[in-house]
Structure 1
């Protein structure tokens, strides 16, 4: 019985089973949880975490991580709004934001991979630097959007579902395919499992790490654009603490902090668990202060599960 319970808790399918049970319990006991409006609101609320988790999954699977994602999201949103206002073109604003986000990721990748600076220190530094740029460029204030069409990025719908949710779903599918069906994805898992063996097998580890961080920056820019559209302004303080929520969702979903193990389905479940926890607290009118405690507990639970999974995998090996 004890062994069976461990398998349920630690296996990928087990996580889905636990999620389904938790979802059913919440649906029964929390009023208005299963309404269409709340379900769409729940999915909208996890768009930023879900989008950024797609590339954080790759980052963690390759034995790296990125603490600068929240700052990059805010900075990219600011650039999108300010460039759109300055040029009168939403398209140019979006392109500028995507370039800037990718550039932040590229710098992270080059410093970490080429100069071999620890990922924690590098991304902690760029987290502060990029957030500083966002505050400096706006003088610490929110920047309003001149062209109302910018709002349509978040307000538009397809088949009754808001566009940002479709963007998140497309990215889930795309990065799930990249991880499982491409040489790039398989090399990422191999790198995370044993970087030296991967290098000896012919994998260009330096180039791979740079690409992963560049992709991380690009995806953060997409999230930043959609967030700016949803909150109807460029906010230099937006997405504060996002990095911890994203890492929690990934690790909760089975991505190993030690690298070499990741699954898109698990990450999706992790993202939804984070969203449901916050959604339920809002529906039950629990004060926002307690949400910090819950997020912290979820992060601790995620790390505990990661240790248990790693221990189980080690015993199997």
Structure 2
């Protein structure tokens, strides 16, 4: 099979969102609407938190960073997909594909770390309420965000630099609607052992730490809530976690669905749809979940509007 080195690869072909021409306008309108809701909704959350002094707390500091990350993650994938639907041209340049891989990795990882930081914040608020202000100080909050951003960027750059060392075959069709590191590696004709080891390491260590942190935090939270005598006290303590739990379930649920589908399903289109949902649905639902279930955010939004 003919090989191309990294300088000879002109681009890749992405999967069509729909093969039915009659549905293209409907799909375009659907994803455009979801993208606009994601951007405008999360932007309103950020503005409301910065506008209202009552929301200048660690929980809302993390929420504003989560909203910003959600906007960036959606912007990395959806506009390019909308352009492909509009032009009916599924090609993406080599540089464009690697850039998209890098940014998807950065913002998806950052989403995960921020959700973990939010779980830790809820753990301290419920399990150590008297020390909350001391532990969750502004210095620690900023440090957690900076550390998350640094780790996400280093991980994404490592994967991207490793992709630059690969040679690709003539078959350059990616069975997704956007460039994803695992699918790009599968197209390589050179040795991908180091790339696969890096992916397994990053998934198990860098990906496992946030998940373990969330699980540990909620085990401690449930244990503390069960020790509260009054039913109203239990409800009040746990109600502060409902919005965060909903976002965590959406984010990790769709991500888990992608890997289950790719492992047990032979349909590449089903996997592609789930992959798109992973980078669209949690980000779109975030403003609704936090604005509908949170009186403080609703009050700040009313003042802002």
TM range (shorter): 0.3 to 0.5
Q: How high is the TM-score relative to the length of structure 2?
A: 0.36
Q: How high is the TM-score relative to the length of structure 1?
A: 0.35
Q: Which has the larger radius of gyration?
A: 2
